[in-house]
Amino acid sequence: MADRGGHPGAAGRAPEAGRPDRVRNVALVGHSGAGKTTLVEALLSATGTIQRPGRVEDGSTVSDFDEVEVRQQRSVNLALAPFMHGDVKVNLIDTPGYADFVGDLRAGLRAADAALFVISAVDGIDGLTRLLWEECAAVGMPRAVVITKIDQQRGDFDDVVLTCQDVFGEGVLPCYFPVGAGDELKGLIGLLTQRCFDYSSGERVECAPDPSFLGQIEEQRGALIEGIIQESEDEGLMDRYLAGEDIDVKALIEDLETAVARGSFYPVLATSVPHGDHPGPVIGIQELLEVITQAFPSPLEHGIPPVTAVTGGPPKNIECDPEGPLVAEVVKTTSDPYVGRISLVRVFSGTLRPDTVVHVSGHGLEDRGHEDHDVDERVGALTSPLGKTQRTISACRAGDICAVAKLSRAESGDTLSDPGNPLLMAPWSMPDPLLPVAIRAHSKADEDKLSQALGRLVAEDPTLRLENNSETRQLVLWCMGEAHADVLIDRLRTRYGVEVERVDLRVPLRETFGGSAKGLGRHVKQSGGHGQYGICHVDIEPLASGEGFEFVDKIVGGVIPRQFIPSVEKGIKQQMSRGVASGYPLVDIKVTLRDGKAHSVDSSDMAFQAAGALALKDAAAKVPVLLLEPVDEVAVLVSDDYVGPVMSDLTSRRGRVLGSESIPGGRTMIKAEVPQLEIIRYAIDLRSMSQGTGTFSRTFLRYEPLPSHLADKVAAESKDD
C-alpha cells in the first residue's frame, strides 16, 4: 500500500471529524497479554497524539488509567483513544481481554464498525479469541488481524497465520510478511505494492525487496489478490487477473475496503512494538494505520442496529446522517464521586450538541436491577476522552463517539434521541452473570453508604446483577467471574469508600414432612380481663414435590366458628414460612382441620392463628422433617475436546446427565440436572476445565431431598446460627 502518512495532531487538542465517511471506529479485541494496550500507545505516538508511549509495567498508558488496571497491569475497562491520521479520525476502542469483562468488550463491539483482532506471535490463539471471532461473525462485524510481538525469539508469524486460517477460515490472508525474525527482524514486505519497508536503521525506508523473496512474494500476493477480487463489484476483474493482466494497486486497495466491509475477507498485519525487555524499533505501525484508514469501513458502510419508536412498532429507516433524527447510544457509563456520571456515547444519526435536551430510554434489563425508564434530560458538556483526559468538543456528529456529562439517569445501553421523536435502539446481547458472591457491610457507616454505591455500579455495568435475597437475608452480587467480583469490591472501597466483606453464600433450602402426623394446637391464656382461647386438631400429610400447600376444612357441628377457620389456615401458613426444624420454609404438605374448640368470649382471630401454628409444630415433632435442596437444569456448551471431563465433573457434583447434542463448529451441548449447592462456583470451574471456552446456563427446576449426611451438617449449622 502507498504510504499516505499522518499529520501529527497537537497533544491535548481533541480531533473532530467533519463527515461520517472520515471516521473509523475500531475495537481492539484479543486475549489478555496479546499487546492491545501497547499497540494503542504505539498508534497514539506515531500520530503525534501523545509525545511518547507509556508502558503497562509503569502504569503510564493512556487506556489503562483506572487504579485497578494500574495495580493489576491488565485492562478491565473499555477505553477510548481517538487520533487523526491524514484527514481521517480513528476512534480506537481498547477492550479488556479477560473473560470476566466480556460486557465491556461487547459494548466496544457495539460502538465499533470494525474489529481488529490482536494476536501474539508467541502465544497464538486462545479459546476466548475463537469465541469472540464467532460473536463478530454472528453480527457481521468486519474484522482484520494484527499479529504482535513478531520480534520475539519464540514468535512465529507464519505459524500463527496458518493457525488463524485454520480457526477463522480461508478469508484470512496476510497483506505483509516480516523480513527476518527475532533479533534479526528488519522490516516488512508489502504484498500489494511489492515493496520492502526496512526499519533496521530505526527509520522506515522504502526499497526494493531482496530477490530471494520474489518467489514468496509472488505466491502470497497471488492468494491475496484472488481473495480481494472475489469480493469485487467488478465481475470481470477476476477474468482479467487470471488472464495475466496486471491489476492496478489503487483498484485493489478500493476492492480491499469492499472485501473487509462485507465481513468475508480478513487482512493480516504484522507489528513489533518495544515492550519489556525488547527495546527494538517500532515496525508495522504505519502499515497498520494505512489499512485502518484506507481499508476499514466507515460508519456509512457498516449500518445501524434496528431502531423503533419507544412504544414499539416496525423498525424505523435510520441512516448515518448528521442532519437526520438524533439516535445515539450510551456505550458505557462511569461514575465518579467528585465528577458525577459520565456517559460514553456513540452517535448513529443526527448531531449531539452540548446544553440540549435529549430523551433517555432504557428498557429490557429489569432482571439485572435496571428499571425501564423514559425521561428527558439536559446534556452537559461534550468531550472527546483520551484515556482519563477529557477534551471539550463543540458537537458530536453521526458516526462519531464522545463523552457526555451530567446525564443522571442514563445507564449503559440506553438510547438518546430527540424529545419530540423518542426512539429506542435494539439492545445488544449481554451474557448472564453466573457467579454469586455474598457480601456484607464491614460497619454501620459502610452499610449506610452501600446501597447508593451499589446502585452506581449496577448503572454502569450491565453484566452485574444485584440480588437482595429475602430468604437467606443476604446481599448477593451476581458476577461474571472471580476477577469481576474482585474489581467490584475494590471499586466499592477505593471509589466510594465502602468496605465490604465476602461471606459464604447460603442456598435457599426448604423443609417438608417425611410422613403423616397429627397435631394439636392449644392456645389458651387467662390472666384477668379478656383472655385468649383457641384449640385445633389437624392431620398433616406430605404432597408430591412442587404441589405446594393444600388446606382442607372438615369441621362439623361448629366446634370452630366459621370466621376462625381462615385464622387457623393463616397461622399455619405463617409458621410454614418460618420453618419447623432448621428455619427454612416448609412446602408440599396437605393440612386437614378436623376438630377444635372455641370460647364464646375469649376466642379471636389471633388466638386461632397461634393455635394453627402450634398444631403444625406439634405434628412436625412426631415425624422426620426432610430438608429439600433446589436443583437446576444446566446446559453446558463446550468444545468436543472437553465433553468427557465436563460430564465426569457434572456427575461428581451429584448431577444427572440427561444427554448431549452436537452443535455445528465442533461443540457439544450437555444437559444435566445439578443441585444448586454444587454449582455455586461452576462459572470459575468450567472456565478452568475448558480453557476458557465453555459456557453454561441454568434454570431452576425443582426441590429434591438433601442427602442425609448433608442435611445433618446444615441442621447443625442452623443451630449454631
- pLDDT for 563-622, tens place per residue? 999 999 999 999 999 999 888 999 999 999 999 999 988 899 999 999 999 999 999 999
Residue 73 within any structural domain of the chain: yes
Chain-centre distance of CA 409, in angstroms?
21
142-151 average pLDDT score: 91
Kindly report the CATH number assigned to the domain that includes residue 463.
3.30.70.870
Tally of CB atoms within 10 A around 564: 21
3-state SS, residue 500: strand
* Residue 339 belongs to a domain: yes
Nearest-10 crossing angle of helices 249-261, 285-295: 70
Is the pLDDT assigned to residue 88 strictly greater than 60? yes
Q: Indicate whether 155 and 210 sit together in one domain.
A: yes
CB under 8 Å to 294, separation ≥6 — which residues? 1, 4, 253, 256, 257
CA 565 vs. chain centroid, Å, equals 52
Q: Would you call 358 exposed, middle or buried from its count of C-beta atoms within 10 A (0-12, 13-18, 19+)?
A: buried
Find all residues with CB under 8 Å of 455, minimum gap 6, and list them.
none
**Same structural domain for residues 634 and 619?**
no
Q: Which residue has the higher pLDDT, 139 or 441?
A: 441
Give the C-alpha separation, 101 to 484, whole Å. 7
Residue 301 in any domain: the answer is: no
CATH of the domain at 579: 3.30.230.10
pLDDT of residue 370: 62
Lowest-confidence segment of 88-92, 482-486, 517-521, 662-666 by average pLDDT: 662-666
**Model pLDDT for residues 239-286, shown as the tens digit of each residue:** 777 766 777 777 787 788 888 888 888 999 999 887 555 556 788 899
Looking at residue 182, its pLDDT comes to 76
Are 475 and 604 in the same domain?
no
Q: Residue 466: inside a domain, yes or no?
A: yes
Structural domain harbouring 678: 628-718
**Average pLDDT score, the chain:** 87
What is the band of 311 on the pLDDT scale with cuts at 50, 70, 90?
A: confident
In this structure, are 289 and 184 located in the same domain?
Answer: yes
The backbone torsions φ and ψ at residue 576, rounded to the nearest 5 degrees and listed phi first, read: -60, -40
The residue from 269, 295, 321 where one domain ends is: 295
**Is 613 or 719 the better-scoring residue by pLDDT?**
613
Measure the CA–CA gap between 583 and 714, rounded to whole angstroms: 11
Q: In sequence order, what are the beta bridge partners of 330?
A: 345
Strands 23-29 and 88-94: parallel
Residue 11 lies inside a defined structural domain of this protein: no
What pLDDT sits at residue 280?
64
Whether residue 278 sits in one domain with residue 171: yes
The three grid cell numbers given for residue 587, joined into one nine-digit string:
412446602
Inform me whether the pLDDT recorded for 401 exceeds 90.
yes
Of 608, 623, 638, the position where a domain reaches its end is 623
- Sequence-separated (6 or more) residues with CB below 8 Å from residue 617: 519, 575, 580
pLDDT of residue 226: 83
Query: Which among 590, 623, 656 is the end of a domain?
Result: 623
- Report DSSP state, residue 277: T
- The whole-angstrom separation of Cα 505 and Cα 468 is 12
Rounded Cα distance between 222 and 351, Å, is: 44
CA 395 – CA 356 distance, rounded (Å): 11
120 lies in the same domain as 226:
yes
In the beta sheet, which residues pair with residue 469? 474
Query: Considering the domain boundaries, does residue 600 fall inside one?
Result: yes
Q: Do the domain assignments include residue 14?
A: no
SS3 431: coil
- Please give the average per-residue pLDDT across 350-365, as a whole number: 87
Do residues 373 and 522 share a domain?
no
The pLDDT assigned to 721 comes to 54
Beta strands in 201-275 (DSSP E): 205-207, 266-270
Domain-located, residue 13: no
Cα distances (Å, whole numbers) of residue 216 to 175, 176, 204, 241, 527? 13, 11, 22, 19, 105
- Residue 390: CATH number of its domain: 2.40.30.10
| Structure confidence by residue, pLDDT tens digits, 191-227 | 888 889 988 887 888 888 888 888 888 888 888 888 8
If one counts every other C-beta atom within 10 angstroms of the C-beta of residue 602, the result is 16
The helix (H) or strand (E) run that includes residue 608 is: helix 605-620
**Residue scoring higher pLDDT (677 or 250):** 677
* CA atoms of 388 and 394, how far apart (whole Å): 19
Shared domain check, 264 and 136: yes
Per the structure, how many domains does the chain have? Answer: 5
Distances (CA, A) of 661 to 110, 339, 450, 636: 31, 51, 44, 10
Residue 421 sits in the same domain as residue 540: no
H/E stretch holding 634 reads: strand 625-639
Q: Are residues 351 and 381 in the same domain?
A: yes
For residues 615 and 538, the answer to whether their CB atoms sit within 8 Å is yes
